[in-house]
Chain A
Amino acid sequence: MEHQDYQELLVPHSLDALEVSEARELEAHLETCAECRAELLALRDDAALLAYTAVPAEPRPQVRAGILESVRAEQSVDRAGAVNNKVVPLRPRANWNIWTMGLRVAAGLAFVALLIGLVVLWRREVKLRQEIALLNHQLDFKQHELVRDRDVLAREREALTVLTSPNAKRLDMAGTQTAQNARGSFVYDQKSGRAVFLAEGLPATPGDKAYELWFIPKGHSPVPGRIFTVDSSGRALLPQQMPADAMENGVIAITQEPKSGSAVPTGAIYLSSPKS
């Protein structure tokens, strides 16, 4: 993506309205671009003002009380949780008799029991913390899966919308010599240009390459479409917007290009729709 493309993502990102994959790409860019970071912060400040358009409302007084109560409860737990490590030795008493000795032994035993109790609790706490860390790890993983699934779901929904459109037209794409087992379907809505592309049987691309989609309107040079890679089973499903002039007698092709894409086709053709 060009820098300008990232800049165009800033407004929707300030409203958290990007698809997950786009948001991720933008976040990666933001790590190295101070200009975009600053712009995003300013946009977020503007977007936050939309909160003023909601009708202000008064919560019940109990809410305020509940918050302060919880805050105080947290604070007192924090204080109590601090373990006092100072060990105060029992002073030997001047008159020393069996009774005093018995008391000392009892106190000593009680103290030891307390220590053992603390060690047990401490160990349990360590174990609980480990379990929490593990659960957090699993949660992160599940969240990633969920995020991926949302992404997939969004694409499939988009696909369904296009496929069930009354204006849908379909172009079948065949694999070339380079990829004889590959197949593709490009379905587009003739009215809106929204399209869905499904590819199957494409070989995985090397790490520094990706596939790029091209629209070749009759008598024109190729117009670049999306850049994509296939999943582990060699499939890809992606939304795509079809340029209007490619709709009549256009050809669609897939080539392999460098990972960040190319303005003109440079690599081998893998899939192509029939020339009309």
Chain B
Amino acid sequence: MQAEPSQISDNDLLHAVAVGDESALAACYDRYRLILFGLILRILNDRQEAEDVLQEVFLQVWRRAGDFDEARGRAFTWLVTIARSRALDRLRAAGSRARLAEEAAQEPGKEVGDAAVDTLNSEKSAIVRNALAELTDEQRKVLLLAYFEGLTQTEIAERLGDPLGTVKTRMRSGLIKLRELLAQHAT
């Protein structure tokens, strides 16, 4: 890579990884490890497993960066999708696992170091959290169950004891509202 790593766009970073640039992979890891590890850890609730999955994720990024097509969505989406898929696969393979009884954030405790705090307070993170806070409790619950536990609409309806039609409506209106709120900030 010629330019300063932090100045390279996500797209260019992935393109560099695709042609075998190891330092680009390292830069990608440095840029996104906190978000991706946070996501995987939230899904799996187990540090060791989450680290294993994070490693798998970046090996997959290394091998499949050539598949990334910027015309089909953001690099961030591509990375997050891989991380979420691998984490949910591991979750399902593990069989029954203690699930979070309530949605809502983990308590920030000794897990959260300085870098993580910076990320937490980053503008993008704040925008998304604020937007999510403007949804109704029911809309938020449905979206988070789908996203972090990989449940289908039917499974969510069973979990919450709500009619399927209600869950569908909340999911749809929730994500559309989220999109409108985020569009205001042009994320």
Report yes or no: A15 in contact with B25, Cβ–Cβ below 8 A.
Answer: no
Report the number of A-B residue pairs with Cβ-Cβ less than 8 Å: 174
Across the interface, A48 reaches (CB within 8 A) one of B77, B111, B156, namely B77
A58 to B42, CA, bound (A): 13
> Chain B residues with Cβ under 8 A from A74's Cβ?
62
B66 proximal to A (CB < 8 A): no
| Known contacts A15-B146, A56-B119; is-contact A51 B35 (Cβ 8 Å) | yes
| Known contacts A11-B172, A17-B151, A55-B111; is-contact A75 B84 (Cβ 8 Å) | no
SS class, residues of chain A in contact with chain B: helix
Interface string of B55-81 (1 = CB under 8 A from A): 100110010000000001110110011
B38 proximal to A (CB < 8 A): yes
> Chain A residues with Cβ under 8 A from B84's Cβ?
51
> Chain A residues with Cβ under 8 A from B178's Cβ?
46, 49
Q: How many residues of B contact A (CB 8 A)?
A: 71
B136 proximal to A (CB < 8 A): no
A183 to B76, CA, bound (A): 53
Report yes or no: B129 in contact with A53, Cβ–Cβ below 8 A.
Answer: yes
A53 to B131, CA, bound (A): 10
Which of chain A's residues has its CB closest to B126's CB? A52
> Chain A residues with Cβ under 8 A from B74's Cβ?
45, 48
29 A-B residue pairings within 8 Å (CB atoms): A11-B176, A12-B172, A14-B175, A15-B175, A16-B150, A17-B152, A19-B154, A48-B81, A49-B128, A50-B147, A53-B128, A53-B144, A54-B35, A54-B105, A55-B38, A55-B111, A57-B38, A57-B50, A58-B37, A60-B51, A63-B33, A63-B51, A64-B26, A66-B55, A68-B25, A71-B22, A72-B22, A75-B20, A239-B154
Q: A58-B116, A64-B29 are in contact. List 9 more A-B contacts (CB 8 A).
A: A11-B172, A17-B152, A44-B77, A49-B128, A52-B124, A57-B50, A58-B113, A67-B62, A158-B158
